[in-house]
Structures are given as C-alpha cells and as structure tokens.
Amino acid sequence: MADLQTQMKQAVADAAVEQIKDGMVLGLGSGSTAALMIQGLGAKLASGELKDIVGVTTSFQGEVLAAELNIPLLSLNAVSRIDLAIDGADEVDPGFQLIKGGGACHVQEKLVAARADRFVVVVDSTKLVDRLNLGFLLPVEVLPGAWRQVKQQLEALGGSAELRMAQRKAGPVVTDQGNLVLDAKLNGGISDPVALEQTINNIPGVLENGLFVNITDEVLVGEITDGVAGVRSLEKRLS
C-alpha cells in the first residue's frame, strides 16, 4: 500500500502544479504531498516552464525545501495577497471541512489559507472520511504555560486530550511558534466542525486548532483505479 499511496500523492501533487500560472504569489503547504508539489514547482521554475513565482511557506520544513529548489520566498507580512494556496490535509469530510496539523504547522497553514484567493487541498484517497476525528486526532496549539488547563477544558467537551510528545527527542513537540500541541479525541467524532472550531479557539491559552472550516475551494484526490494512479476533483456534498 505504501507504494500505491506514494503514486497517489505524486499524481495529485502534479495536478496541483498544473493550476499554477506565471506571476502568482503561492501559499506553499506542509507535509508529504505538499512537498511533492513544491518539488514539481521547483522543476518547472528551473526549466523555465513557469516564471515570476513567489512562495509563502507554511512551515520551516517547506521553507528549507523551497530554498533548496531556488524558489523565491517572501514572508506572510511582506505580501498584500496570495493568489493560490496549495496544501494537504489529514482528514477531509464530504463538506470540505478539514483536520490539519499532523505536522504541527496548522497555525501558519491556516493563516496562509485564509489569505489566499483560492485554497486547493491535495490528498490521497485514504484521507477522505465521512466524519472528522473518528480516526485522526484534532491538534490544538496551546501556550506552554496553559497546556494542563486547556487539556481539562477540552476533556470537558466530551473526550480526551494528550500532550503530543516528540520522537527521537526527549519531551514534547514544540511548534515553529514555540508552543505545545494537545491532540484531542471527541466522543463520536466531530458532528459540527464550525461550532467546535469557535468553541476551542475561545478557550484561554489556545492559539489555534486544526479544524479548517468553510475555507476550502477545491479538493484534489489522488486514487488508484485499475492499478493506475489518477486524480479527481472531489464533489462537495452539502449537509
């Protein structure tokens, strides 16, 4: 399955690059599929197929990759607008509501997506779900001095929350903003993403959570059909 998933990610990343036009200011997302998109963009810039592109990255990971590929970058504060933002997601529901933040970059990702005239999400078919949070935990970025208090408030909503611990490093994950991440699981999943996003963000000590609601313009899905990787534009289902 790993090889098929890589094929799906590559196919959808290539499809996203086809939406990029000369002269665009681009939001460059985070994660494995977005990284493939950034690599594809770098190749087109190097070959001259695309020109006059400026990128705004959503993570230090993306910044390093873009710099290695000689993609011109500006900070979010240095641009007046973003034409197109392309990013992955950890879960996508039929109404185009998302959970993001598996890489702990969701604060900058949401800032860039909200600034973009058009926000396109690129995923493989394994990321499509009927209801959010049944399989993937909801990341909540919190101030380091408030994580225990916020954990209690999240659990009071009906579920559990755990401090995300780092791999190959002692202690918790620290975000690019210097904060911590609580991963929350709501009993029965998330039935109302719009209301829950506001509720969580109103908890003192929370900087931002990984629910991306009413912000996605298109979802491109990489999938395998008859052993061949292809891409479809997901049809939005209104509740």
Residues pairing with 165 in the sheet: 172
- Give the model's confidence band at 239: pLDDT under 50 very low, under 70 low, under 90 confident, else very high: low
Rounded distance between C-alpha atoms, residue 205 and residue 49, angstroms: 46
Rounded distance between C-alpha atoms, residue 134 and residue 209, angstroms: 16
pTM of the model: 0.95
Average pLDDT across the chain, whole number: 96
pLDDT at 238: 81
pLDDT at 1: 53
pLDDT in tens, 34-63: 999 999 999 999 999 999 999 999 999 999
- Give the model's confidence band at 16: pLDDT under 50 very low, under 70 low, under 90 confident, else very high: very high
Least confident span in 1-15, 88-102, 112-126, 204-218: 1-15
- Residue 206 class from Cβ within 10 Å (0-12 exposed, 13-18 middle, 19+ buried)? buried
Identity of residue 182: L
Active-site position among 63, 91, 109, 223: 109
Which residues neighbour 54 within 8 Å (Cβ) at sequence distance 6 or greater? 24, 25, 26, 72, 73, 74, 79
Is 197 considered catalytic here? no
